[in-house]
Amino acid sequence: MAKPKTNYTCTECGGIQNKWAGQCPACQQWNTLVETIVEVAGTNRFSGKHQSLAQTAPVLNLAQIDAADVPRFGSGIEEFDRVLGGGLVPGGVVLIGGDPGIGKSTLLLQALASLSKIKKVLYVSGEESGAQIALRAKRLGVDGSELALQAEIQLEKVLNTLAEHRPEVVVIDSIQTMYSDALSSAPGSVAQVRECAAQLTRVAKTMNITMILVGHVTKEGALAGPRVLEHIVDTVLYFEGDTHSSFRLVRAIKNRFGAVNELGVFAMTERGLKGVSNPSALFLSQHDTQVAGSCVMVTQEGSRPLLVEIQALVDTSHAPNAKRLSVGLDQNRLAMLLAVLHRHAGVAAFDQDVFINAVGGVKITEPAADLAVLLAINSSMRNKPLPRGLVVFGEVGLAGEIRPAPRGQERLREAAKLGFSAAIIPKSNAPKQKIEGMQIIAVDRIDEALNKVRDIDGLLD
């Protein structure tokens, strides 16, 4: 059988060349020619109009389509199901990315071992041998008696295995190691990753297989390969956390079957990854006494409110340009908040080094952390701790106003459940009914918030 014909397409201008070159002859851009398949082996060519029409999908009115709920099944790991939006979906394709050694293969091996008791599963490994995976399963203490394993990197052989064994759940570890004979480029190249992902997705939809793809990440933290990889799949999950820490966060940034920005929290143990039932405890430091520069906020991660401690350290700068450094928060937003603090509250920090840290390695992207950041900075500058039992949230605008945060009632209820006795919140988030055991202090502006903190100093236990 003749090898399929390929050519090279420019990702910038779409120009097609018969051979690869470092520079596109059409648009003069460098390193933009990517190998693509012109004719896939075994593809039928349509010779007539009626034959091509016979292959076209039917056109239906939207009202004629049954909008039934998508059936789901649990993976056996509660935190993993939470991130997925309630469980795995038949025919759904999930892409999991993360740094090397963070626990992607461990989590999926645990999930497949649990699913193997109720589903027919297959683990395809392109990075490790069967003996290595068996050794890991033994170390984790998982039951692999019903777990099918294949160590293979050639796409065509994997597709034959899927057609022969008809598994219900498949893990491909990883998509960057797979290669197709239809392309001459090396495994991990843009063309290979795109083609293999497209073929596996097509098979998953056709055979109603739940497909989980493991993806490598670049040094910037983005998924390696073409951007189209994230568009092809139904769900994209990212592993976060420091490999030197025992805690791992799994975040959904795309989910066609559920909400995005859901967060699952895991602890790495000798027996694998274990879900954390009360993740707020991970992000709150246990101080014997209150310390200056520490403020607790409530952030919303998908449907889950989390209490996170924001720490600030303000010190006199000995350099011409004061330092502005934040870990877990947007550094550009920190500079903006310091300008608001100076203009609308009269607190100047132009000659001070300011360091901000979100405890526990969590990354906070929502602006509801603004008020907590400013109160922590003011506490550090005054060298006076905030009252014990105080929780804060709210967005700060450039005019110094305190804007509301979404799901304010859920945030307050979570804080009250964990024993916090006072909250400084935006006035628009003030509850209509009193929350038992919690004093609510609603504010409109940043200067009012600072004054309220000084008023309640020493009044809370």
Q: What is the pLDDT of residues 169-201, one digit of tens each?
A: 999 998 999 999 888 888 888 889 989 999 999
The answer to whether residue 389 scores a pLDDT higher than 80 is: yes
Among 243, 260, 277, the domain boundary falls at: 277
Q: What is the CATH number of the domain that holds 192?
A: 3.40.50.300
**Is the residue at 135 inside a domain?**
yes
Contacts of 321 (CB under 8 A, 6+ apart): none
**Is the residue at 46 inside a domain?**
no
**Is the residue at 57 inside a domain?**
no
328 in the same domain as 391: yes
Contact between 35 and 50 (Cβ < 8 Å): no
Contact between 268 and 248 (Cβ < 8 Å): yes
Average pLDDT, the chain: 87
**Is the residue at 55 inside a domain?**
no
- The residue assigned the tokens 């097609």 is 16
What six digits make up the tokens of 66? Answer: 């049954």
| Kind plus residue range of the DSSP H or E element containing 191 | helix 190-207
294 in the same domain as 272: no
The answer to whether residue 399 scores a pLDDT higher than 50 is: yes
Question: Which residue in 66, 67, 70 sits closest to 210, CA to CA?
Answer: 70
399 in the same domain as 367: yes
- Do you find a cis peptide bond into 189, omega within 30 degrees of 0? no
318 in the same domain as 267: no
- The residue assigned the tokens 């805690």 is 247
238 in the same domain as 344: no
32 in the same domain as 106: no
Q: How far apart are CA 229 and CA 68, in angstroms?
A: 28
Displacement of CA 131 from its chain's centroid (Å): 31
Sign of torsion over alpha carbons 280, 284, 286, 291? negative
Q: How far apart are CA 308 and CA 280, in angstroms?
A: 7
Buried b / exposed e over 168-204, threshold 16 CB at 10 Å, is bbbbbbbbbbbbbebbebebbbbbbbbbbbebbbebb
Residue 47, classified by CB atoms within 10 Å of its CB into exposed (0-12), middle (13-18) or buried (19+), is: exposed
251 in the same domain as 290: no
Q: How far apart are CA 304 and CA 411, in angstroms?
A: 9
The answer to whether residue 98 scores a pLDDT higher than 80 is: yes
Report pLDDT for 53. 38
Decide: helix, strand or coil at residue 422: strand
**Is the residue at 240 inside a domain?**
yes
Contact between 36 and 6 (Cβ < 8 Å): yes
The answer to whether residue 309 scores a pLDDT higher than 70 is: yes
Total domains in the fold of the chain:
3
Report pLDDT for 423. 94
Among 225, 254, 277, the domain boundary falls at: 277
Report pLDDT for 394. 96
87 in the same domain as 32: no
Contact between 117 and 163 (Cβ < 8 Å): no
- Beta strand 263-269 with 247-255 is antiparallel
Range of the domain at 342: 282-456
Total-model pTM: 0.76
| DSSP state letters, 291-306 | -TTEEEEEEEETTEEE
Residue 255's φ and ψ, nearest 5 degrees, are: -160, 110
Average pLDDT in the 255-264 region? 86
The answer to whether residue 45 scores a pLDDT higher than 70 is: no
DSSP state of 319: S
**pLDDT level of residue 64 (50, 70, 90 thresholds):** confident
**pLDDT level of residue 3 (50, 70, 90 thresholds):** low
Question: Which residue in 210, 235, 225, 134 sits closest to 177, CA to CA?
Answer: 225
Among 242, 277, 312, the domain boundary falls at: 277
β-sheet bridge partners, residue 210: 169
Q: What is the CATH number of the domain that holds 393?
A: 3.30.230.10
451 in the same domain as 398: yes
User: What percentage of residues in the chain have a pLDDT greater than 90?
Assistant: 54
User: What percentage of residues in the chain have a pLDDT greater than 70?
Assistant: 92
Number of other residues whose CB lies within 10 A of the CB of residue 93: 25
The answer to whether residue 427 scores a pLDDT higher than 80 is: yes
**Is the residue at 408 inside a domain?**
yes
What are the distances in angstroms from CA 329 to CA 111, 202, 334, 342, 364? 32, 39, 8, 20, 6
- Beta strand 210-215 with 93-97 is parallel
Average pLDDT in the 391-400 region? 95
Report pLDDT for 460. 41
111 in the same domain as 23: no
Helix boundaries (H) for 128-170:
130-140, 155-165
Report pLDDT for 126. 92
Question: Which residue in 432, 317, 302, 456 sits closest to 375, CA to CA?
Answer: 456
Q: How many CA atoms lie within 13 A of 435 on its CB side?
A: 22
DSSP state of 88: B
Q: How far apart are CA 250 and CA 263, in angstroms?
A: 6
Report pLDDT for 37. 75
Residue 409's φ and ψ, nearest 5 degrees, are: -65, -40
Q: How far apart are CA 114 and CA 301, in angstroms?
A: 27
**Is the residue at 94 inside a domain?**
yes
167 in the same domain as 151: yes
Contact between 433 and 366 (Cβ < 8 Å): no
234 in the same domain as 289: no
Question: Which residue in 28, 31, 179 sits closest to 8, CA to CA?
Answer: 31
Q: How far apart are CA 403 and CA 46, in angstroms?
A: 60
Report pLDDT for 179. 93
**Is the residue at 222 inside a domain?**
yes
